[in-house]
Structure 1
């Protein structure tokens, strides 16, 4: 068998129809065409065509994964879940994850560090909240422990204090037990520890000379 024609498909960009013995047999992406050096006059057999088709399927999955990654950074687990929805078998999924990691498209360590900084800076979240988010995204305990160092104890306390003081201005006319409950629950939802919350509440009460009722 021999490739007698290669024609670009009119409706699909970067896809080509491969004619073998003047019969349209397969359609492949431009990447596959180049990688396998498919050209007019090339001798092929059933084994060659199966390999080309399988390679093209992998390339299609890769392009979908890259499109998914183009919207925003993702974790390995997020991409794994996305690929599973394409009904790929687990081995193919792990092969694609490994390929994307090797090419630098996936890096959970880098992702974890960037996520921590963004959540601290833009959301004012404490460590417990951020840790919960990282776990939900499938970040390994190894990287979670590493990024924990980005939450210095004094920095955490200062962040909790700033958030609580802003919140206090909105509820300062309430009775202290109600203020204490509201601020405590608010800080807890934002991921601060009970020890940090206790210190902040004690500081606000002392700073504003509030008598415990």
Structure 2
């Protein structure tokens, strides 16, 4: 039943913020407490077809917004990740887009801040070349212009330090200075990870200084 007068409102026994609405003595729909109050869904309120559809859409948007907040609350996300998540949860594309826009407007989602934080944390905790940082951000749906702004802030010295950190991690397993074959493997690893030719050449020189010493 979609039309009629609300004859009773029951709070859900398990989900205390959700309420079951009866129209003309029959169960009609369930809403969150926020929607209940916003639309004055109390005993005696008249519900017609148009009003019913408005309430149901509002309830679906509210449900999507709460799902978005839970998802974002685990760790920072990009707008693309959030939209994909909502679609996977079964929300319509139009609602997913609207919720993403709302989250941006309210500051819950900020791709620029996400990209900058991603680059900073990667360089500090898991050294990456600028090339790999670009790939990782693009895989998370960050726009190319935002990616470039975040990565262009990586100085040559920061890239060099990232390369050194990776080399040190691998070199710790070696017995003494690297042999020519071990050096080749270490430098190949840097190239595979997208470090520039200039950085690889500098690391080569540092490795050979270590061998000469």
Normalised TM-score (structure 1): 0.88
Q: Which of 28, 46, 49 is equivalent to 2:49?
A: 46
Could you report, residue by residue, the CA deviation over 1:109-143 in whole angstroms, capped at 9, with x for unpaired residues? 11101111110111122211111100110111111
1:115 maps to which residue?
A: 118
User: Alpha-carbon deviations, 1:169-198, whole Å to 9, x = none?
Assistant: 432557632122221133234442232112
Looking at structure 2, the residues matched to 135 and 201 of structure 1 have their Cα atoms a distance apart, in angstroms, of 30
The question of 1:138 aligning with 2:141 is answered: yes
Instruction: Report the CA distance shift for 1:39/1:194 in structure 2 as closer, same or farther (over 3 A).
Output: same
> Which residue among 13, 17, 20 is the counterpart of 2:20?
17
Deviates more, 1:189-198 or 1:134-143: 189-198
Per the alignment, residue 132 of structure 2 pairs with 129
Matched, 1:149 2:152: yes
Task: Evaluate the alpha carbon distance shift between residue 33 and residue 189 of structure 1 in structure 2; reply closer, same or farther with a 3 A threshold.
Answer: farther
Q: Distance in 2 between matches of 1:13 and 1:132?
A: 44
TM-score (norm 2): 0.88
Q: Match of 2:162?
A: 159
- Any stretches of 5+ residues in structure 2 without a counterpart? none
Contact 1:165 1:204 in 2 (8 A): no
Quote the Cα distance in structure 2 between the aligned partners of 1:170 and 1:68: 40
Residue in 2 that maps onto 1:72: 75
Cα separation, partners in 2 of 1:172 and 1:193, compared to 1, 3 Å: farther
Distance 1:24 1:101, change over 3 A: same
Closer, same or farther: CA 159–151 of 1 in aligned 2, 3 Å: same
| Match status 1:105 vs 2:139 | no
Say which SS state the counterpart of residue 208 (structure 1) adopts: helix
* Matching residue of 2:208: 205
Deviates more, 1:113-122 or 1:161-170: 161-170
**Distance in 2, Cα, partners of 1:55 & 1:166:** 53
After the TM superposition, which of the residue ranges 101-110 and 82-91 deviates more from structure 2? 82-91
CA distance in 2, matches of 1:104, 1:172: 51
Does 1:30 pair with 2:33?
yes
Which of 158, 183, 186 in structure 2 is aligned with 1:183?
A: 186
Please, which runs of 5 or more residues in structure 1 have no aligned partner? none
SS of residue paired to 2:22? strand
Alignment check: 8 A CA contact 2:171 2:178 kept: no
